Structures are given as C-alpha cells and as structure tokens.
Amino acid sequence: MDLTAEVILRRFSNADLDNVMTINRTNLPENYGPYFFLDIFKSCPNAFLVAEASGRIVGYIMCRLENGFSELGRMRPARKGHIVSVAVVPDYRRIGVGSALMTSAISALSDYGYSEAFVEVRVTNEPAINLYSKLGFKTVKRVPRYYYNGEDAYVMALPLGDDYSRKREIT
C-alpha cells in the first residue's frame, strides 16, 4: 500500500492543536504548551503545516521567523527561518512525509523573503541529519548540552533563494 498517496499537506489551523500536541508529546522529547504552538503559528502561519492522511494528522512542522546573525556567514545580519519542530508518526516515517513537510516549509520561508533556514538536531539523530543533508542543509556548528538531557545539537543551515520559491499553494 502506498501511504504517501493518501497524505496531503495543509496549513495548520487552531482545530489541529490537540493532535499536533499529541504528536509532539509522543514522538519528541521536547514538548511545548499550547500557547507556544499558537504563538509560532501566529508569527509564521504559512510555514506551520500538517500532514493529514484519511482525516488523521500524521505529522507537522512549525517554523519561526528570526532576525540575527547568519548561521552561514560570520557576523553578517540575516533574516532566518528557524525550523522549530518537525515530527511524523512512526507509521508514516521513511516514506517521504518528513521530506515533503520540510520542502514545503522551506518554500514558505523563502516566500517570506528570508535568506536562510536553520534547524537544531540531536547529534545522535542520524535519520533527521540524513534527511536535512539530503535537502541541502550543512552542519555549521555543534552546540554543547543544547537539549534538556544534556545532549549536544548540531545547527544545520540552508541558504534560501529562487530554488525554494513557492511550487504550490498551501491551503
């Protein structure tokens, strides 16, 4: 059975909050309260997406827009898209759902006019590191003890531009 054929991506809505929070709690060690999700959505609605299959939310990605120094070039101001959280339920992993969520969110960040995207990832999370690398992200630094349990994180970054211009409208 081709599970990807039944998956659609769409913009998050407030009605999705409980399902997204459940996916976050059951699939990731870092968890957030409802106001955090809603604040992220308010700041960057076109890059907060859900993957839905047969009426069930099976994944999400949320991003925040930031201004600061570039992750790609030292001491250069940049408008950055921060991929705050992405998760896919186990039955829908390794079939392209995470890649589709990332690609669509990157496209939305590019549409906002931001020059780069970045994500933090546990140094031991090889599947995520491989996905981000496949999408063109480069490891730019290692942050010691970034996570609550003391684990280090890689910061991975990607320049945005015409290659990530919007390919399709997200509803």
- The SS3 call for residue 128 is helix
Structural domains of the chain in order of their starting residue, each with its CATH number: 3-164 (3.40.630.30)
Q: Residue 30 — φ and ψ, nearest 5°?
A: -95, 125
- What pLDDT, in 10s, does the model give residues 116-152? 999 999 999 999 999 999 999 999 999 999 998 999 9
pTM over 0.75: yes
Q: For residues 157 and 139, what is the distance between their CA atoms, to the nearest angstrom? A: 7
Q: Residue 23 — φ and ψ, nearest 5°?
A: -60, -45
